[in-house]
Copies of this chain bind each other. A is one copy, B any other.
Amino acid sequence: MGYKICSKKTYEAMVQEYNEILTKGLNIDIRRGRPATEQLNLSKAMLKCKPTDFIAKGTNADIRNYGLPTGLPEARKLFADLLGLTPDNIYVGGNSSLNLMYDIVANCLLRGVLGGERWLNSPKVKFLCPVPGYDRHFRITEDLGVEMINVKMNADGPDMDTIEELVSSDPTIKGMWVVPQYSNPTGITFSDEVVKRMANLKPAADNFRIFWDNAYCLHHLYEDKQDKVLDIIEECRKAGNPNMVYTFMSTSKVTFAGSGIAVVAASPENINFLAKQFDTATIGYDKINQMMHVEFLKDAENVHKLMMQHAKIMRPKFDCVLKTLKAGICNSNVATWNSPRGGYFISVDVMPGCAARVVDMAAKAGVFFTNAGSTYPYGKDPQDSNIRLAPSAVSVQDLKVAMKVFCLCANIAAYEKYNF
């Protein structure tokens, strides 16, 4: 392919610049979507929230004791309000929505879903994986022995033609991973049409489930430009598929990433069924932490205010990445990227066959990006093109340096692959 990247002179200047950077001993890590210390400090007051009354609202249950396995009523209500649902749609779990997803996939395999056989009774178990997607989703299904099938992500969501065809014809396809709003990593939000088509799927498997990870539903970057994905639970209900979807969210990036609370939202039938399955595994999740969250977060309006404080910290980082990319990528062939309105990531496609090389070159210079390939099942990006940038944890100053290195590596790798 004869893409013209830059002149030989420019290339040589860039190589020299890169070699100089190698001597600087940089150490900048933008691998994972970790909140910055400044963001964690926004919720410092939560640790001062002490339940004064230990009896959960409308019950006679002491929150310090066993009981209330579906969660504190106050917490169920708060999340219902945040999601536009009712408390019977909500199961409040522990500190990790990823853990809830893992447990549900394991339970589907071993014990089945509401109204369907356990997945392990199927000769094979397959999941559809819109790509690029979230590496930790793919790791769950890989480690639990589920076969993964790539489906292309478009600007309005995954390619629904492919999904409809596969899901309706193959009864061994039991599930699908999606991040519907400010998607990880592409940052896009599913269009209403995509959501409606998803809700109207006619799966060949009666135990098919969509794993709808709405991790970034609250994570807008702007006050005025906000995406909002359609309510999949309501759309599934209207489509006559009320139990086809499990949705997830957590406060990991609202309060504390290590000590948030995680939620499953689904149809009341699914919630009752899940609660029964989870009841074998636990006598209930940590209700003191739930109470601290309720006292600190107060109500949906207050949560949105808190999220705008997060946005204020995040926005300059996103701006810095986008600006540095624009200035530093020498040619529109070399890389394309998105400008998301929320979430935690910027997704860059460098030239095919260059991603692993770029990540490797940057690592040698002390700048660490998520492994090339990690946004694809089995860590295999067939184009070797996608790189996920996670700017949250790093200062704007460091980001600027990191992104300059990134641009340099992307330019050099492209030149060496296509212009040598």
Given A34-B65, A40-B65: A98 touches B259 (CB 8 Å cut-off): no
CB of A96 within 8 A of chain B?
yes
Contact string against B for A residues 101-116, beta-carbon threshold 8 Å, 1 for contact and 0 otherwise: 0110011011100000
A residues 122-146 touching B (CB-CB < 8 Å): 136, 139-140, 143-145
Whether the Cβ atoms of B286 and A95 lie closer than 8 Å is yes
Stoichiometry, copies per complex: 2
A residues 30-84 touching B (CB-CB < 8 Å): 32, 34-35, 37, 40, 43, 47-48, 50-51, 54, 62-68
* Min C-beta distance of A118 to chain B, whole Å: 9
When the two chains form the complex, which single residue of B65, B277, B287, B288 contacts A35, counting CB atoms closer than 8 Å? B65
CB of A285 within 8 A of chain B?
yes
CB of A282 within 8 A of chain B?
yes
When the two chains form the complex, which single residue of B48, B107, B258, B282 contacts A65, counting CB atoms closer than 8 Å? B258
CB of A281 within 8 A of chain B?
yes
CB of A94 within 8 A of chain B?
yes
CB of A324 within 8 A of chain B?
no
> Could you say which residues of chain B place their CB within 8 Å of the CB of A287?
258-259
CB of A257 within 8 A of chain B?
yes
| 5 closest residue pairs by CB, A with B | A102-B281, A259-B288, A64-B256, A99-B282, A95-B286
Mark A residues whose CB is within 8 Å of B: 32, 34-35, 37, 40, 43, 47-48, 50-51, 54, 62-68, 94-96, 98-99, 102-103, 106-107, 109-111, 120, 136, 139-140, 143-145, 252, 256-259, 277, 280-289
26 of the cross-chain contacts (CB-CB < 8 Å) are: A34-B66, A37-B65, A40-B62, A40-B64, A47-B288, A63-B258, A64-B257, A66-B252, A95-B285, A95-B286, A96-B284, A98-B282, A99-B282, A103-B103, A103-B281, A106-B106, A110-B144, A111-B144, A120-B120, A140-B280, A143-B280, A258-B283, A258-B284, A258-B288, A286-B289, A288-B289
